[in-house]
Structure 1
Amino acid sequence: MAAYTVYLDQVFLGNLVMNYAILWSAAKLGRAPAGRWRLAAGAALGSAYSLALFFPGNSFLMTVWFKTAASIVITATVFAPVSLCKFLTCLGCFYLSSFALGGLTLGLIFFSHSGRLASYSGLGGIIAEHFWPGIFLGLAAFYAAAKGIAALIKSGYFENLFNMRLIIKSDGGWIKVDAFLDTGNHLKDPMTRRPVIVAEYAVLKPLLPEEARNCFEREGEPDVWGFLGSLGDKNYASRFTAVPFQSLGNVNGLMVGFRPDEVLIESQGRQVRVGKVVIAIYHKKLDPGGSYHALLSSELLAPVS
């Protein structure tokens, strides 16, 4: 069996550089603040873990549960304290960046090796031979790809993937609404189990009766049950319902739900009718910049694709 020398200082320094880049990328992807010293501390922990793998009696370090625990500790070192949802987002971005940069670096190491691989036992020797060139090439390619993707996002190249236009029809009237695809929107009408689109009251106003205007244009939070009770036996009362929701700081929220006659999605120059939906009426702005006025569930995109 071929023997090769492992320099532990190179292992530590190489992993330190890689881990710092991975955590920096995770912070950017997860939109979480992280100072340089905390990034360095997390990178140092990851490097210490990698170094420990070379010592005897370390089989427990290679188990899935220990790897997961190490990832959680490293992520907590850099990003805590944050909410559980934010922490899981950062942890996911950490894994995503790790797989992307690690795979890219290994790919470049083997791409740059011109010799023949006689057996799997020679893998370690190839990695050792091209260790630093592979790291620097991987980091350069990773940085270039990140900058390129950021530039495409800034230029609006991916805008059509998430922004689209809805046509909402009800009782002879119709409106067009700019919507944003919200993959976190899993709201459903509790009575019919229909998916829910969240839309601003301001854009829905032309389709709503006078009782809705009295409810949403007064000060404070809308009185959902008061509004539903005010409809009485009017012929459009059956169009409205209550939609429960949860958000940060509001675990028992309610919105007025509105059942339109039809909803169309404009996509690639054509109009596609979606299934029956409920539109939850939101009394504030969804986007401070005003680029969209409704949140669309990804469940509704199946007919469009």
Structure 2
Amino acid sequence: MYLDIIWLLNFLFDSLLLYLTRFILKRRTKKWRVFLGGFFGSLIIFAPLTPFAMVSSTIFKIFISILMVIIAFGFKRMKYFLVNLAVFYLVTFATGGAMIGVHYLMNFDYNLANALFLPYIQGFGDPISWIFVILGFPIVWYLSKNTFEQFENVKIQADQLIDLDVFIFHQPIRLKGLVDSGNQLYDPLTKRPVMIVSLDSLSEYLPNELRSVFENVNQFLDDENVVPVEWMNRLSVVPYRVVGQDHQLIVTFRPDKVILYQDKEVLQTEKVLIGIVNQKLSSDDTFDSIIHPKIITIAKSQQVS
């Protein structure tokens, strides 16, 4: 009986498939959810031990894979879910091909057909070597991860996603930003570029009375006393344009600094303003801020100087 080894192998590979799906789509889901989805999927190896025939059917296996994707990434809307599921299956087939390659390279003695369908072996009587678990899994992990990293490293000249830290009173806040060449918003007085951030991503770091200011700029214009004293020198109002609407105003604040992580570079600047909007910037949570391209230029020039 090798049930424990089969379960371990299945759990590791199910988690790997979900992790690679997360990696490709840049989903900001928690890692524990990925492993929870892998654990749930690995339970299918116990299906032959149950008296229910349906648990060995193709429909049931598809149902399990759907639940794995929902557990790992959630269900926000149908398109979001279908993209997750499609990439998960793509990763599964690609990794299966890598497994065949590892099988031939390592020359295992057990039947290839059984090796390809480890989770569904009847009776669990086929031997699975610990060498395969110890060596085979890291090889497949390395090959799969590095293959998909090639897709991630393709550069998008106009727009790109980067990680950044915004510091408010020395408190770092990690965000995912979209560098958008279409964002040309400046403060007309200081000439500082303005990056746009969703209020939801910063709300827990802001005083309660300040959130209403970012939700409605008129509160700041009508009554500045609503703003905490320590924030008074940080806030300003900047005019901006929205498609179909002119003469709009946005409340901005001056952070302590912003650190950007781009192409293995760490860039830092204080010459930036952050404008808060009370709306989601990405429907699928791919990013929660829009970065003015001039911010990166300024940060690079500061680094050189």
Please give the range of the TM-score, normalised by the shorter of the 2 chains. Answer: 0.3 to 0.5
Larger Rg: 1
| Normalised TM-score (structure 2) | 0.44
